[in-house]
Amino acid sequence: MFPQFRRAAGFFDGAVQKKITKLLDHLGDFLTEPQKPSLLHGDLWNGNVLCGPDGKAYLIDPACSCGSAEADIAMTELFGGFPEEFYKAYREVRPLEPGYEDRRDMYNLYHLLNHLNVFGKTYLEPVCSIIGEYAG
């Protein structure tokens, strides 16, 4: 996440820069290493899921890494979400840890920072909102 903040530095005023420093100094208070890391898709939004002629779902355009399964689930909720049946089936196989809702935006901050750096100011408000949410 740090390189994304460095690339986006020109978007932030001094007050937001102070909040970013506070956020990064306390990152471990919000996110911890998972006890059992998962293989992550890394860019799991509804635009990267296709339905084949056989009716099966296919995941495309991965940015694979290992980490908390919550990171992929958070990404599915960022840009439009998936059908409720997806989340219900997921929770049956792997229930989310308590407090996931409190961590979701932190997981999505990286993706929003990346979009801010690639696509511009349209993503500044949601980035600043999340920074404020965690660094008050």
CA distances from residue 52 to 43, 49, 57, 71 in whole angstroms, order as listed:
19, 10, 6, 26
Q: Splitting the chain (136 residues) into consecutive groups of 10 residues, what average pLDDT does each group show?
A: 91 97 95 92 95 94 95 95 94 94 96 97 98 94
Give the Cα separation of 34 and 71 in Å (integer).
11
Task: Please state, in angstroms and rounded to a whole number, the distance separating the CA atoms of residues 55 and 109.
Answer: 33
> Is position 102 annotated as part of the catalytic site?
no
The CATH number of the domain holding residue 87 is 3.90.1200.10
Q: What is the pTM of this model?
A: 0.90
Quick one: pLDDT at residue 77? 96
pLDDT value at residue 1? 61
Q: Distance (Å, rounded) from C-alpha 73 to C-alpha 90?
A: 9
The token duo for 130 is 């999340």
Domain that residue 53 falls in? 2-135
| Number of C-beta neighbours around residue 127 at 10 A | 23
What is residue 14's predicted lDDT score, i.e. its pLDDT?
96
CA dihedral 119, 116, 49, 35 (to 10 degrees): 160
What is the total count of domains within the chain?
Answer: 1
Main-chain dihedrals φ then ψ at residue 49, nearest 5 degrees:
-125, 125
Q: Of the listed 13, 29, 43, 72, which one is catalytic?
A: 43
Give the helix/strand (H/E) hosting 59: strand 57-59
Amino acid at 28: G
